[in-house]
Copies of this chain bind each other. A is one copy, B any other.
């Protein structure tokens, strides 16, 4: 394999694997001609499938792995029995430095457990977190944690802020992403103690990031900030609630526009516009959640996505791999640890 950018792929993860995975690689390979791919999975099955996907074939190497992780298996079980599966081997390629990032559309719990075991936590990070992209009125926000943990204390929320900010810069190219803490009000005295402490900690630690303060649920879609920080329980509820709401509104719209002959003619005339709307709301464009805080980049694609969606997840992996994400996180974590070793009166002058 040539030197340069290498992405390791779990060829058998996801509801439509391996077809959707290989379709995704075909699209990604055309879009990013410099990238190469290590595809883990049953070579006897995958290699012939590359014949109809010339760009993928030219950019890939298939690594044989006969076993794969099923969507139903529990994380603990996956850890015990997962060795040698396509998912496991895809992670090992990153662990051993053969690839800079790994993409899988497989079982989320299994992927997180295996990634933790093989790649381990970055120094200074206490809890890895899952970050997802979210379409907003202004572009895209990143929201974390969306489900890696069910709880987060103040210092973990601060770590999420640091990792999320670097992620947004890496993937969206924004120079100074703004960061907000998700809360039930924007006033200082609102919400849980952990969130209020996290806000104080960020302000006092002199981190190199643009902290906006608290944001509320409706601020996410407004695009009030680029990075929304919350615990994994709240983040998971928020993102799924938004998905459900978007689907509900789309369903209402469909019903309205097919409800009578005049509406149908109107919809027909407006079809190109409605297609553009659909594109804008397309979950595939925001596919690719990243498991942040490990010694290596792990991207989780939605299990039910197609080639286009899978290519978007690969694109996230490529952007992360090309960025200075790791260095930026390390630098900000160092600032944080300096702040937390200062005597309290220096760190919190208001309280002395």
Q: Which residues of A contact B (CB under 8 A)?
A: 135-137, 147, 150-151, 182, 184, 191-192, 216-222, 230, 232-234, 236-253, 255-257, 259-260, 262-263, 265-274, 276-277, 280-281
Are A184 and B233 within 8 A (Cβ)? yes
Q: A249-B250, A269-B266, A273-B256 are in contact. Are A182 and B151 (CB under 8 A)?
A: no
Query: Taking chain A's interface residues, is the majority helix, strand, or loop, or is none over half, making it mixed?
Result: helix
Are B236 and A184 within 8 A (Cβ)? yes
Q: Which residues of B contact A217 (CB under 8 A)?
A: 236-244
Given A150-B191, A220-B244, 8 more A-B residue pairs with CB atoms under 8 Å apart are A192-B233, A216-B240, A219-B244, A246-B249, A252-B277, A256-B270, A263-B272, A266-B266
Are B248 and A273 within 8 A (Cβ)? no
Kindly provide the distance from the CB of A42 to the nearest chain B CB, expressed in whole angstroms: 30
Are B245 and A192 within 8 A (Cβ)? no
Minimal Cβ-Cβ distance residue in B for A217: B240
Are A251 and B137 within 8 A (Cβ)? yes
Are A192 and B234 within 8 A (Cβ)? no
Are A238 and B236 within 8 A (Cβ)? no
Instruction: For A263, give its contact among B192, B233, B244, B270 (CB under 8 Å).
Output: B270
Are A269 and B277 within 8 A (Cβ)? no
Instruction: For A237, give its contact among B136, B184, B246 (CB under 8 Å).
Output: B184
Are B244 and A256 within 8 A (Cβ)? no
Instruction: For A277, give its contact among B137, B246, B256, B266 (CB under 8 Å).
Output: B256
Are B262 and A240 within 8 A (Cβ)? no
A265 and B250 CA atoms in complex are apart in Å by 21
Q: A242-B242, A266-B267, A266-B269 are in contact. Are A256 and B236 (CB under 8 A)?
A: no
Are A221 and B247 within 8 A (Cβ)? yes
Kindly provide the distance from the CB of A262 to the nearest chain B CB, expressed in whole angstroms: 5
Are A259 and B273 within 8 A (Cβ)? yes
Kindly provide the distance from the CB of A93 to the nearest chain B CB, expressed in whole angstroms: 29
Q: Which residues of B contact A250 (CB under 8 A)?
A: 249
Q: A151-B192, A237-B237 are in contact. Are A244 and B272 (CB under 8 A)?
A: no
Kindly provide the distance from the CB of A318 to the nearest chain B CB, expressed in whole angstroms: 28
Minimal Cβ-Cβ distance residue in B for A261: B269
Q: A150-B191, A221-B247 are in contact. Are A182 and B237 (CB under 8 A)?
A: yes
A245 and B276 CA atoms in complex are apart in Å by 18
A216 and B265 CA atoms in complex are apart in Å by 37
Kindly provide the distance from the CB of A270 to the nearest chain B CB, expressed in whole angstroms: 3
- Per CB-CB distance, the 3 closest pairs between chain A and chain B, nearest first, are A217-B240, A266-B270, A266-B269
- Contact sample, A vs B, 9 pairs, CB 8 Å cutoff: A184-B233, A184-B236, A192-B233, A221-B241, A222-B244, A242-B244, A252-B277, A256-B270, A256-B277
Are A253 and B277 within 8 A (Cβ)? yes
Kindly provide the distance from the CB of A216 to the nearest chain B CB, expressed in whole angstroms: 5
Kindly provide the distance from the CB of A280 to the nearest chain B CB, expressed in whole angstroms: 5
A246 and B277 CA atoms in complex are apart in Å by 14
Q: Which residues of B contact A182 (CB under 8 A)?
A: 237
Q: Which residues of B contact A191 (CB under 8 A)?
A: 150, 233
Are A262 and B272 within 8 A (Cβ)? yes
A238 and B233 CA atoms in complex are apart in Å by 11
Kindly provide the distance from the CB of A218 to the nearest chain B CB, expressed in whole angstroms: 3
A245 and B238 CA atoms in complex are apart in Å by 10
